[in-house]
Structure 1
Amino acid sequence: MTAVLEISGLRKTYRGRKGERRALDGFDMVVEAGQVHGFLGPNGSGKTTTLRTLLGLIRPNGGRMAILGRDVPEQLPEVAGRVGAIVESPQFFGNFTAKDTLTLLADAGGVDHNRVFQVLELVGLRERAKDRVKTYSLGMKQRLAVASALLKEPALLVLDEPANGLDPGGIREMRTLMRTLSEQGMTVLLSSHILGEIQLICDSVTIISSGKRVAYGSVADVLAQHESSSVKVRLEPGVDMRPAVSLLRTNGAEITVEADHFVVGNAGNPAQITRLLSQQQIYVYELTPLAADLESVFLQLTGTAPVEGRNRQVDQTAMAPAGGGWGE
């Protein structure tokens, strides 16, 4: 496959009162043509700095970047017309309508006005095209931003948090749009904190932490490289989970308590769970190995707190030794 985007050894250093801070420290990324590529990282990891540098908004201290085979920022003017992008929060004139906004952008970019209605239809705003932008919700403004990025029918579409402010239905529509654009040959670089969506929509991912790449590859390959040792445990209906949880924690298990079950996160030998519990006449109704998901891999690689809130009670006092699982 042909690489639409190539970044190698990218470095960016900021100087402040506390000295130098390396926002990017030899970062690498490759995005193949026709893919939806997820770009993931916690706040402060260098993700937005990478996108701003790529688009010529920040000058790097070193490394190489290329878009569509052209080195940037030196040759960025040659490919700028084939790149659509949203980076950080989009801003619009509130008294303009969506149609006015996109028409002005079309005129500035030499785009046929028919394209305005096409992109409004694509993002689901055609019925609100004549409403002033100041009456739009945050999610609608995000849709308008995506529409503006699509005006030039770009070969590369760069989207930073496009689902921000969207309800579940809007997120699903955005997912469908990204897949449709990819099937039509457009390459999409998608930055998002909604990891479940990234896992559903993306062909491949890059994970950045502290300015360095910590994972890269197809979603399936990244997940396969970080197999989960977690198992879901459900007791017989009506049985109080607390004695079982206490017993397993005493024996070194890392427990996450959910509403009607619990998860042992370091179950190197799941048989040990049933053995210990049965000795106390506590019987397991369900014992299910959990496959690694993108969120768990992300947390493992970046060492950050969950970005998608889940109502969990996690005990961190009884952790398995490094490199091993409880019950091995």
Structure 2
Amino acid sequence: MAAVLEISGLRKTYRGRRGEVRHALDGFDMRVEAGQVHGFLGPNGSGKTTTLRTLLGLVAPNGGRMAILGQPVPEQLPDVIRRVGAIVESPQFFPHFSATETLSLLARAGGVAPQRVPAVLDLVGLTDRAGDRVRTYSLGMRQRLAVASALLKEPELLILDEPANGLDPAGIREMRTLMRDLVASGTTVVLSSHILGEIQLICDSVTIIARGRRITAGPVAEVMAAHSGGGLRVRLEAVADLPAAETALIRAAETPPAPSAETTPDPSAETPVTVHRQADHLLVHGVDQPAWVTRTLAAADLYVSELSPVTVDLEDVFLELTGGDETGAGR
């Protein structure tokens, strides 16, 4: 697919008060293909906001290349910015203006047809409160207004930084539906969020950044599969049998392969078999053929009540890759 957004080797440094150099972005790479919802994830201070601000011409980079909709930026940003909608951090609005007045002002400034205003208010579910002053809005309603402002231009690329901030569960679901509807109509969405469960539900692909560098990227399912570990959860008929089962599996794994023995470790396993005892089950890694576990335990008169693959979610992968780091160099 064609790339809607491309970043290669992006660097941004800041100099502190004492003259020390801080790397907010340190050779960061990113690619977003057309027709997707792409998740952009990272701990606080990892460089996400700096990346988005640099893309939009709000921060000057120190090196690297960027392109939006096939055009190099910041050089050609004036030519493509009308095809991009974005909210970065928390946009501010005039508190005494209504939503309709706010969007009408933005529409006139951007050369957008006035009939687009009620259309975007309907998209974000603010029609019933369109005439109320913004100062009466909750945080979630202001987030809806921010998204409406980003949709005024009917953008080909929509960049949203924490759009679900302040939304209740129903609002988050509505936002998820909106993102999918936008993609179906031809818009590509880049979504930065700390709600990792929502990213897993809505996004087709993902980029994870930490300390100013990309640490993984790709389709969400592939990123999760690459870090699943291939483990097995083993439960027995009696919890009291767990120590004996652990011992049986470890001994069988250490037994030299014998062609006629059914209790030898799976010969196709590429990693050593490891066994970790939990409160009510065993975690077994390094086994490609689950039947080896049941055969080994049955030979020791131990019987399995559950044998299932260990699955991970995006939050597990995120924490594994970033170490839960919230102290990166960037923003």
Q: Same fold (TM over 0.5)?
A: yes
**Which structure is richer in relative contact order (CA contacts within 8 A, separation 6 or more)?**
2
**Separation in 2, partners of 1:48, 1:256:** 40
Q: Which of 291, 308, 315 is the equivalent residue of 2:311?
A: 291
Task: Write the letter of the residue equivalent to 2:311.
Answer: A
| Cα root mean square deviation, aligned | 3.0
Paired residues of 1:214 and 1:301 also in contact (CA < 8 A): yes
Return 5+ residue gaps in structure 1 as ranges.
307-328
Partner SS for 2:64: strand
1:19 aligns with 2:39: no
User: Which residue in 1 is equivalent to 2:322?
Assistant: 302
Q: How many residues align?
A: 297
2:92 counterpart residue number: 91
The one-letter code of the counterpart of 1:34 is G
Using a 3 Å threshold, how does the CA distance of structure 1 residues 91 and 211 change in structure 2: closer, same or farther? same
Deviations 1:184-227 (A, max 9, x none): 00011111111111111111111111111111111122223223
Distance 2:203 2:159 in 1: 13
Aligned identity (percent) is 67
1:208-251 deviation line (CA, Å, top 9, x unaligned): 11111111111122223223345456676xx8x79969x97xx9
Alignment check: 8 A CA contact 1:23 1:210 kept: yes
CA 1:182 to 1:60, structure 2 compared with 1: closer, same or farther past 3 Å?
A: same
- Supply the distance in 2 between the matched residues of 1:204 and 1:294 (Cα, whole angstroms): 11
Partners of 1:148 and 1:226 lie apart in 2 by: 38
Counterpart residue identity of residue 9, structure 1:
G
Q: What are the equivalent positions in structure 2 for 1:308-327 lying under 5 Å apart?
A: none
Q: Deviations over 1:14-58 (max 9, x none)?
A: 111371111111111111111111111111111111001001111
Question: Relative to 1, partners in 2 of residues 1:89 and 1:253: Cα closer, same or farther, differing over 3 Å?
Answer: farther
- Please list, as runs of the form range in 1=range in 2, the aligned pairs for 1:1-328 lying within 5 A after superposition: 1-16=1-16, 17=18, 19-232=20-233, 264=283, 267-268=285-286, 285-304=305-324
Structure 2: distance between partners of 1:256 and 1:22: 41
TM-score of the two chains, using structure 1 as the length reference: 0.80
**Aligned residues of 1:256 and 1:263 also touching (Cα < 8 A):** yes
Distance 2:175 2:30 in 1: 24
Deviations 1:281-303 (A, max 9, x none): 99764342222322222122111
In structure 1, C-alpha distance between the alignment counterparts of 2:127 and 2:295, rounded to whole Å: 58
> Residue 163 of structure 1: CA displacement?
0.7
CA 1:99–1:263 in structure 2 vs 1: closer, same or farther (change >3 Å)?
farther
Q: Conserved in 2, the CA contact under 8 Å of 1:52 and 1:87?
A: yes
Q: How far 1:262 moved relative to its partner?
A: 6.6
* Contact 2:224–2:317 under 8 Å retained in 1: yes
Aligned with 2:9: secondary structure? strand
Contact 1:106 1:112 in 2 (8 A): yes
Query: Could you tell me whether the CA contact under 8 Å between 2:43 and 2:325 is conserved in 1?
Result: no
Question: 2:258 aligns to what?
Answer: none
Structure 1 letter corresponding to 2:160: L
CA distance in 2, matches of 1:192, 1:140: 17
What TM-score do you get using the length of structure 2 for normalisation?
A: 0.80
Q: Unaligned stretches of 5+ in structure 2? A: 251-273, 327-331
- The separation in 2 between residues aligned to 1:140 and 1:200, in whole angstroms, is 23
Identify which range, 267-276 or 154-163, moves more after superposition.
267-276
| Distance of 1:163 and 1:243 partners within structure 2 | 47
* Change in CA separation of 1:244 and 1:142 when aligned onto 2, cut-off 3 Å: farther
